[in-house]
Copies of this chain bind each other. A is one copy, B any other.
């Protein structure tokens, strides 16, 4: 299994994702500064992986605080927390993980600094393990939807690189393959940032899975000319009615799949569901800078001064989604009902 990040002895080891797909470089460090730089420069990326990195980062930041006073420990913690969250101020998972770690700090007032740091490391490992288990559960539930022989089309990257485990949508692919199913994959390259070409193709190749890279423009041809049994994609945010925000182009794929009568599955942890949003129209869509489109490959490929519309995500209405695979099971339409049900399970930890 590929591990985007892991705790080894007294430090972390992570894969430098900016070197992919042509070089596979792992970095080992005991220094928070090295880890923070890696987050800031996207060597480590993917929402769940960032949360895990932040938690381990807090522990690295306290490496020299074993022999200090409780007060000094708390001030060292805040220094580390502030450095970590400053690396990518919009990455919500960094803040979420730091908050969880701060909870442990608060509950450790009676402990020595050494014991407190041990508790913090335990919490970081727990965050990591929970993510790994979530990936495994999604993979297990999703693999039940995959025939013995299957060609799967996927969009963007939803694999081990982005998470602490096997990924979300991609865990369905790798789990089905590990169960001995005969799996072929078409991976959309996923412009503008080419996560499909750079990351998904690389990960599936490492898994020994039969993967074919296509431009996003080729998805409809593939569905028509080749046998595609199902589509699996991830999600950035799911509204209470099942409308799903995900990487730009997901909505295109969903429409094209429906036209070819191919099941379209979304895979995401229940933490992705935002029940406060009634529907997808309430999901804000980030617009990113023009250069991702106009100079995507280091070469200027569009005229200077041209207007660009570059939304990071699109919203796929629930009617295109055959089912949503969560760590608590597969839910189906009507989503307004099934989402309430699965969120209850999530709260109860079933």
Q: Mark A207-225, 1 if CB is under 8 A from B, else 0.
A: 0001111111111111010
A263 at the B interface (CB under 8 A): no
- Interface magnitude class on chain A: 35 or more
Q: Which of B194, B217, B300 contacts A190 (CB 8 A)?
A: B217
Q: Shortest Cβ distance from A339 into chain B, in angstroms?
A: 22
Q: A298-B299, A299-B298 are in contact. Are A248 and B293 (CB under 8 A)?
A: no
Q: Mark A53-72, 1 if CB is under 8 A from B, else 0.
A: 00000000000000000000
A333 at the B interface (CB under 8 A): no
B249 to A215, Cβ gap below 8 A? yes
Q: Shortest Cβ distance from A86 into chain B, in angstroms?
A: 30
Choose among A212, A215, A219, A306 the residue with the greatest number of B CB atoms under 10 Å from its CB.
Answer: A215
B248 to A213, Cβ gap below 8 A? no
Q: Mark A303-324, 1 if CB is under 8 A from B, else 0.
A: 1111111110010000000000
A194 to B301, Cβ gap below 8 A? yes
B294 to A297, Cβ gap below 8 A? no
A251 at the B interface (CB under 8 A): yes
Stretch touching chain B among A42-50, A160-168, A197-205: A197-205
A251 to B215, Cβ gap below 8 A? no
B302 to A217, Cβ gap below 8 A? no
Binding site for B on A (CB under 8 A): 20-22, 186, 189-192, 194, 197-198, 201-202, 205, 210-222, 224, 247-249, 251-252, 255-256, 258-259, 293-294, 296-311, 314
